[in-house]
Structure 1
Amino acid sequence: MYIYRIAEMNIAVKARYEETYRYMADFLTDSEEYELLIEPTDEMIRYEAELGEEIHGDSGSPYICEAVAILREICDYIIDKSGFFLHCSCLKYKEEAIIFTAPSGTGKSTHAALWRRHFGDEVTMINDDKPLVREKYGRFIIYGTPWNGKHGIGENTCAPVRAIVFLSQAPENHAAPINPVEAITLLLQQTVLPSDKAHLSKLLDMLGRMVETIPMIRLGCTISDEAVTTVYREIYDDHQ
């Protein structure tokens, strides 16, 4: 058993595969205390394999299925701790987080890479796939997690959320705010949903507060530095 510090929680894991421990190694803690113990079962791992086969045509390796099973257990637990997983690419800039979210294949990682190229060392990648968002200290904080995408881009760090950007491909770059109702709908499509109605209700309440307090922006973009400056001006109100 190993204990991991993820989103300000100590989570103990009794994995079946050594590769799972290595997958989560960047979040290992020396603490002996934990608030949640996860012991993936054969049934849980088999479920993730069958789901992967159904959705992606590939069941994935056993340890990846185990890692996803661990994520799913945290998903239900974290709702009661005012948190949720979000499918996105997020980075830290000026000590705040900017989230880029969209359906798979739209270009989240590509756009985040443009920010890294444009701003260099001013940008730190938090996570490139499934970070955790928590409502704490009167703000929404996003945290890196071990589930950071096929390229493993991310760090064990966090930042308060400055803006959420919904990406779409377009022949020209344009950015504009979107209304809260539409933003909730789009966020739900990219959220790892809890397994029961009570937790879903808590998630909806959180998302409602989120869209009322954080700028929600739609960005139609090309693969260019201009895409970065377009959304930058929208986020930071620099329209000169």
Structure 2
Amino acid sequence: MPMYRLAELNTEITGIGTCTEELLRPYLLPAEKIPLVPDISVAMTAALREKERRLEGSGFSADYLESMAVYRSFCEQALKREVMFFHASAVEYQGAAYLFSGPSGAGKSTHAAMWKKAFGGAAVVINDDKPLLRFFDGAGASDFSGMLTEYGESGTLTCSGGTNPVRSPADSTAVYAYGTPWDGKRHLGCNLKIRVGGIAFLEKGKTVSIRRLGWREALEKARMQCFRSETWENRQRYEMLLRRLLNTVPAYLLRCDISTRAAVTAYEAMKR
């Protein structure tokens, strides 16, 4: 039975078509790495596909709806393991991940592209649309080496910009952003895990400015970038994780135009 590694969760996914299989392939576990019991199981059914069609609308292909149904089911279960979906473009630079979030059309992908233009190959797009965030407690490294191992055909992929140790449940909280197969229209992303250094909520502007958000203002904006969970219990988990995220990672309001100056301004403010 095929199994995939998503945000370091061993995930069994069955009943999917060839397009979804290809989408997931970079995250496929080799046979010798498959555990006896998965962390998460997703069984795709006609009912789940139809449910996704009702949620997304009829203007999408069957393959797209199936892939999103898989992700939705995964995200519902992952909340129980302190892993959450967050609507953002995640970019790694100098060993930290920066999340650019906002409503559709705010310019998340465009701003991420400006980081690539400003900083060249040193800036890496982890996920251009739908990264996963995972929380770790503690200052010591766990069984993981601090590098993310990619169990796909390409072998081993290390974290760009240096090591980022996984935290064990002992001391301070750390939040990590993970690449996923669901990485936006341009399919920009990679199988990386990088510690989050800051979140910027974007607004379009003719000039560039950035300011630190107050906690309540940041929470209001962050709530708009999460999917609506099916159960009351998971909605409470989501709220708890959002609050934990904003207690751990600084959040900013970035008003910007389409320029490399916007990328440099954002980085200079958030790197502190």
**How big is the shift at 1:52?**
2.1
SS at 1:24's partner residue? helix
Deviations 1:175-217 (Å, cap 9, x if unpaired)? Answer: 0001111111111101123211112112212211221221111
**How big is the shift at 1:48?**
1.2
> Whole-Å Cα distance in 2 between the matches of residues 213 and 179 of structure 1?
13
> Whole-Å Cα distance in 1 between the matches of residues 72 and 200 of structure 2?
25
1:86 matched residue in structure 2: 86
2:98 matched residue in structure 1: 98
- 1:1-240 counterparts in 2 under 5 A? 1-30=1-30, 31-33=33-35, 34-53=38-57, 58=59, 60-136=60-136, 137=167, 138-237=173-272
> Whole-Å Cα distance in 2 between the matches of residues 203 and 98 of structure 1?
20
**How big is the shift at 1:43?**
0.9
SS at 1:80's partner residue? helix
Q: Could you tell me which amino acid in structure 1 is paired with residue 230 of structure 2?
A: S
CA contact (8 A) 1:91 1:97 kept: yes
Which aligned runs of 4 or more in structure 1 are off by greater than 4 angstroms? Answer: none
Unaligned runs of 5+ in 2: 137-166, 168-172
Q: Could you tell me which amino acid in structure 1 is paired with residue 232 of structure 2?
A: K
CA contact (8 A) 1:97 1:160 kept: yes
> Whole-Å Cα distance in 2 between the matches of residues 109 and 16 of structure 1?
29
Deviations 1:6-36 (Å, cap 9, x if unpaired)? Answer: 1001111113311110011111111222222
CA contact (8 A) 2:14 2:42 kept: yes
**How big is the shift at 1:143?**
0.4
Unaligned runs of 5+ in 1: none
CA contact (8 A) 1:84 1:192 kept: no
- Greater shift, 24-33 or 91-100, is seen at 24-33
> Whole-Å Cα distance in 2 between the matches of residues 125 and 39 of structure 1?
30
Deviations 1:139-190 (Å, cap 9, x if unpaired)? Answer: 0111011110111100011101000000000111000001111111111101
**How big is the shift at 1:233?**
2.1
> Whole-Å Cα distance in 2 between the matches of residues 133 and 99 of structure 1?
10
SS at 2:113's partner residue? helix
Deviations 1:40-93 (Å, cap 9, x if unpaired)? Answer: 11011011123222xxx61x2212111111111111111110111011100111
Aligned length: 233
Please report the TM-score for the alignment, with normalisation by the length of structure 1.
0.93
> Whole-Å Cα distance in 2 between the matches of residues 193 and 145 of structure 1?
19
> Whole-Å Cα distance in 1 between the matches of residues 202 and 229 of structure 2?
24
> Whole-Å Cα distance in 2 between the matches of residues 234 and 16 of structure 1?
44
CA contact (8 A) 1:15 1:66 kept: no
**How big is the shift at 1:98?**
0.3
CA contact (8 A) 1:133 1:140 kept: yes
> Whole-Å Cα distance in 2 between the matches of residues 228 and 195 of structure 1?
36
